Amino acid sequence: MLIVRCNACGKDLESVSSKIVSCGCSNMTSVHDDVVSANDMDQVIILQNNTKFKNQSLFTSQELEYQEARRRRGVRKMIFEER
């Protein structure tokens, strides 16, 4: 369940499945399932959000090992002889 507050009129909107809920003020804040829309999103506050984000790595274990090994490598300074 998603609950948002429109600061323009102070009304709390609760998402209802397959219904569009709107506050009706000049900001026209509306909620449909998990989508929030308004004329000015700076005046909208999300009070409760039911979505959970999974913390998944974008890299495989081999790629992570390679990056760790690369991070531990030292930088070699090359000395050139000038004539």
For residue 5, the cross-strand partners are 12, 45
For residue 10, what pLDDT band results from cuts at 50, 70 and 90? very high
Output b/e per residue, 13-51; b: 16+ Cβ within 10 A: bebeeeeeebbebebebbbbeeebebeeeebbeeeeeee
Domain ranges in the chain?
Answer: 3-48
Question: Is the pLDDT reported for residue 45 higher than 90?
Answer: yes
pLDDT of residue 81: 82
Residue with tokens 């000038």: 82
Please enumerate in sequence order all residues whose Cβ is within 8 A of that of 4, keeping only pairs 6 or more positions apart, or say none. Answer: 12, 13, 29, 31, 36, 44, 45, 46, 47
Q: At residue 62, does pLDDT exceed 80?
A: yes
